[in-house]
Homo-oligomer: A and B are copies of this chain.
Amino acid sequence: MADIAIGIHGGCGTLAKDLLSEKDWAETRQHLADSLRAGWTIVKKGGRSVEAVEAAIVVMENSPHFNAGHGAALTENADHELDASIMDGATLGAGAICAVRTIRNPIKAARAVMEKSDLLLITGQPADDFARRVGLDIVPNSYFTTQRRVDALASLKAKAERQEIAMASEAERHGTVGAVALDAKGNLAAGTSTGGFNNKPVGRVGDSPIIGAGTYAANGSCAVSCTGMGEIFIRRVAAYDVSARMRYAGKGLREAADAVIAAVGSHKIGAGLVSVDAGGKVYAPFNTLGMARGWIEADGKVYVATHQDVHEMGAA
């Protein structure tokens, strides 16, 4: 029996603390803890890490506080296109969908692609059709919309009209959710789900559905889920690069992950990731003001954070 562990992130585009009420922050922390417990419960019972990753991400997709599923960012057309991927480190199996519009929980569709198709990545309407065919919950696109995102889009469009695009905060542009887990059989898994960024062009695909860029897991090495400006994470093959530095250069998880955040950050973007190694140590570095995140390691204690300060939320 290996140590078990779970780690999550809710995006590195965290707002400054004073831009939301303490009630909002408390609810965000609670949903992070709920997400962790949903995953932990599975691996604690001997379940598979890939199931834990899915369960943890579903909680964040269902929460309005994160940019995935309900609460996802709005495109330039004021609707939603969602991306997700999942990878099973035991088999190097993976599944992903991008630019989907009606799947309540995109991470479930990613897993279904991995387990119920011969494909790895399906884009657009055929991915929505696939999800319906395998029996996943289908919702109207408006299900994903929250007032906060409508306001954010209006604010961004107003800024764009005033030629202030550069002033759009990281928080208005980015955010993603992800999870990594290690189960008792030593199997690692990772998953990522996103709505992209507010005001994103339709058809734009970032790193979240790209295995190697936004998501990667390989037994004996690590599991990684990334958050930040996806275009840079793709160019840097960021998630796999953590594993490659460990496997080929003999680095430990922290050193490898820090190097990847530095490489991605060298492009002057906000960046973060959550990772776990084969020993069950979770590491969640970021170079931004904050990153919603949390973890449970062998001691079974739930830790969550949105900025620098870490909150212990009791036993798992």
Contact = CB atoms under 8 A, between A and B. Distances in A.
Contact of A231 (B119, B124, B235, B241): B119
Interface stretch (A26-34, A199-207, A270-278): A199-207
Interface stretch (A17-25, A47-55, A210-218, A300-308): A210-218
Nearest to A231: B120
Q: How many copies does the complex hold?
A: 2
Nearest to A202: B126
A222 interface: no
B237 A216 contact: yes
A285 interface: no
Interface string A193-233: 00000000111111000111100100000000000001100
Interface residues of A, number: 42
B211 A235 contact: yes
Contacts of A99: 123-124
B204 A119 contact: yes
Contacts of A78: none
A56 interface: no
A237 to B, nearest CB: 4
Contacts of A206: 120-121
B249 A204 contact: no
Interface string A33-71: 000000000000000000000000000000000000000
A107 interface: no
Contact of A212 (B118, B123, B210): B210
Interface stretch (A90-98, A138-146, A178-186): A90-98
Interface in A76-125: 87, 92-94, 98-99, 118-125
A203 B123 contact: yes
Given A212-B210, A244-B241, A249-B248, A234 B204 contact: no
A203 B124 contact: yes
Interface in A293-315: none
